[in-house]
Amino acid sequence: MKFQTVARGLACALLERIESGQLTLVENGNRRVFGSGSPQATVVVRDPRVWTALRKGGKGLAESYVDGWWDSPDVTAVIEVAARNLHGIDELRRRLTPVREPWQRGRAFLQRNTPLRSRDDIAAHYDLGNDLFELMLDDTMMYSAAIFDRRDQPLEAASRAKLDRICDKLDLQPSDHVLEIGTGWGGFALYAAGELGCRVTTITISREQHALATERVRDAGLDDLVTVELRDYRDVSGEYDAIVSIEMLEAVGAEYHAAYFAACDRALKPGGRFSLQVITFPDAAYEAQRRGANWIQTYIFPGGLCPSLAVIERSLHGTRLLIREVHDIAPSYVRTLRAWRDRFLGELEAVRAQGFDDRFIRMWEYYLALSEAGFATGLSQDLQIVLEKGRGVEA
């Protein structure tokens, strides 16, 4: 109890330093307000153990929410206020780095994304069950940022707008054979084949996604144009006119970025284009993320790691892949995540009927809110990158 009192005092001292936004803290009927302006958030403390949990920073904030130790009418706003006032947390992380680094390096070595580990990590998220994702996603089953062209645009229309932009940037023609790395549930393959008449070979290492994507292709009558393969990117063979990879690079792992781009380089014809959509962190935050598993890496995407644009550029060394365009669609991701969260929370009865308990529901809600806040505050970006394979002598 004494330790909780000390922890509460330290936390409140940190809250007194809020410079951007306002946080209202409610505990035992008492209300305190820290900071001012927008965003405005409220935290209701249900269990005093939350104060000692906060010694783990953002990870502790997330874990204590999942445990039910605090609540809020707007979880995203709470995370936004925290994100806008990260300087204190960053200073603490820098001071602890010399102590933590040897352990972190050892863990990173043990958790390398080998093909077997990659399959296990993908299964931990994407094989939760197709029915769960069908409740949250629109009919395209695209689990990546849509692109909203107008304020009142429905999610499905925005998802199709994203696919249209990808195909337009690649200038896809009916004669093209496209390789997609990371099938998802077949949204891109169905669009490229159904709308443009392209031949698509799409690969995934998720058995659940492979099964549903294959079924959707068959139901659409596109078996002659689309091939869905249960295959790792390292095992790709053949040569393709274009490559598409939508928010898959995050699952590759730092030590395999170069291998990923080397595989793409081998598979792409000279002069061919490669559309890469990827969630990124600023380069200044990349090393801290790589050394220590954050909450999402621990509980949502084991083995996941968001690169920076600089990391991507360095990983291209030794290939003939040249970056032609970079466009950040983070504002659209904020709206996409909000739509997914609204859909998920609106289907809780169906979620529970699938066997998911309240702890999972709180975890999933926090994951979606945390992601939304990250894109809203600039802590993360979603880049659409167009690369082209040069026709010159290999590097």
Are 217 and 323 contained in the same domain?
Answer: yes
Q: Which pLDDT belongs to residue 94?
A: 45
Q: Could you say which of 66, 85, 104 is where a domain stops?
A: 85
293 belongs to a structural domain? yes
Mind listing the pLDDT tens digit for each residue in 133-144?
A: 999 999 999 999
246 belongs to a structural domain? yes
Are 142 and 69 contained in the same domain?
Answer: no
Q: How many domains does the chain have?
A: 2
Task: Assign residue 294 the CATH number of its domain.
Answer: 3.40.50.150
In the sheet where 30-36 sits, what is the strand order? 30-36, 21-27, 40-45, 70-71
pTM to 2 decimals?
Answer: 0.88
- R_g of the chain, CA atoms, integer Å: 22
Are 13 and 156 contained in the same domain?
Answer: no
Q: Which pLDDT belongs to residue 331?
A: 97
- Bridge-based pairing of strands 268-280 and 240-246 is parallel
Are 62 and 195 contained in the same domain?
Answer: no
Are 24 and 124 contained in the same domain?
Answer: no
Q: Could you say which of 68, 85, 102 is where a domain stops?
A: 85
Q: Which pLDDT belongs to residue 91?
A: 44
96 belongs to a structural domain? no
100 belongs to a structural domain? no
Mind listing the pLDDT tens digit for each residue in 353-383?
A: 999 999 999 999 999 999 999 999 999 999 9
158 belongs to a structural domain? yes
270 belongs to a structural domain? yes
Q: Which pLDDT belongs to residue 394?
A: 47
174 belongs to a structural domain? yes
CA distance 45 to 53: 12
Are 285 and 385 contained in the same domain?
Answer: yes
Q: Residue 225 is part of which domain span? A: 115-389
pLDDT beneath 50: ranges in the chain? 89-110, 116-124, 394-395
Are 46 and 137 contained in the same domain?
Answer: no
3-state secondary structure of 61: helix
Mind listing the pLDDT tens digit for each residue in 217-238?
A: 999 999 999 999 999 999 999 9
Torsional sign, CA 82, 84, 86, 88? negative
Are 299 and 368 contained in the same domain?
Answer: yes
